[in-house]
Amino acid sequence: MFNLMANCCNWLKRWREPARKVTLLMVGLDNAGKTATVRGIQGESPLDVAPTVGFSKVDLKQGKFEVTIFDLGGGKRIRGIWKNYYSESYGVVFVVDSSDVQRIQETRDTMAEVLRHPRIAGKPVLVLANKQDQDGALAEADIIETLSLEKLVNENKCLCQIEPCSAVLGYGKKVDKSIRNGLNWLLNNIAKDYEAISERVQRDTAEQKAQEEKDKKERAERVQRIREESWFYFHLCLKRFFFSLFFSLFFYVFLVTDK
């Protein structure tokens, strides 16, 4: 009876809590299955997804969480933009194509770079070992070993969970249970440390904004300086031109026409 009342109180307490806003980053190499995963969670068919150009932003409600997921393009040339989203992320979902053994080293290097970034280190990370339905896909233990996952997460003090899954198995309520479990794990761990992560997110985003403003100002000053210098040289050339013209005319009038 006492237990039942305590459970009811806990449930009431949780029910009255305001929704928590959480931003997650979905990263991984191109073709790993990031967009298919987000689509499945969202309740849309994960089949026939087009390659992501730049990034896409998805908002969804997940229990007590209002989740925003940034699904970032994974091509080599676009990975440079990932860091622009690190400051506002509460946690990371790193999607791995378990069937692409040839690119596992590239995956490892990319993951290491993400986890070691000062704006990511210490945040919870969910690794989705995707495409388990494919023949020859690496199993969970192989992925942990080839990515040196334990070493990576220990070095960067990230809580980590790995889920072997398949993003194309189903969507909405039928989405692969491992994806659902992984997402719940990530959100629950963010919830446990919500205040601290929120503070960090606010501080980092303010710093990033200030840095962007500073860069913008410096760029504007540089452009202004170049403009002023161009004007200066233009005037100088103009002056020289008229000066030469004047002397040419002068010589012509006084020397040539004098004959």
52 is in an annotated binding site: yes
Question: Is 136 marked as a binding-site residue?
Answer: no
Q: Which helix (H) or strand (E) holds 217?
A: helix 194-251
Nearest residue to 49 (alpha-carbon basis) of 113, 107, 130, 114: 130
CA gap 163, 198 in Å, rounded = 26
- 184 among the known binding-site residues? no
Tell which positions 133-192 bind ligand GDP, by CB under 6 A: 133-134, 166-168
Order of strands, sheet of 160-164, starting from the edge strand that comes earlier in the sequence:
55-62, 65-72, 20-27, 91-97, 125-130, 160-164
Question: How deeply is 241 buried, as exposed, middle or buried, from its count of CB atoms within 10 A (0-12, 13-18, 19+)?
Answer: exposed
Amino acid identity of 175? V
Q: Is 133 annotated as a binding residue?
A: yes
- Site map for ligand GDP, 58-77, x if CB under 6 A? ----------------x---
Q: Could you say which residues in the range 16-75 bind Mg ion, by CB under 5 A? A: 34-35, 52
Of 82-121, binders to ligand GDP (CB under 6 A) are: 95
For ligand GDP, the closer CB: 23 or 35: 35
Q: Which residue shows structure tokens 């990932």? A: 82
Binds 167, which of Mg ion, ligand GDP, none (CB < 5 to 8 A, cut-off by type)? Answer: ligand GDP
Smallest separation, CB 129 to ligand GDP (Å): 10
- Helix 177-192 to helix 194-251 angle (10° resolution) is 90
Q: Which residues bind Mg ion (CB under 5 A)?
A: 34-35, 52
Provide the annotated binding site for GTP.
28-35, 74, 130-133
Chain contacts with ligand GDP (rule: CB under 6 A): 28, 30-36, 47, 49, 51-52, 74, 95, 130-131, 133-134, 166-168
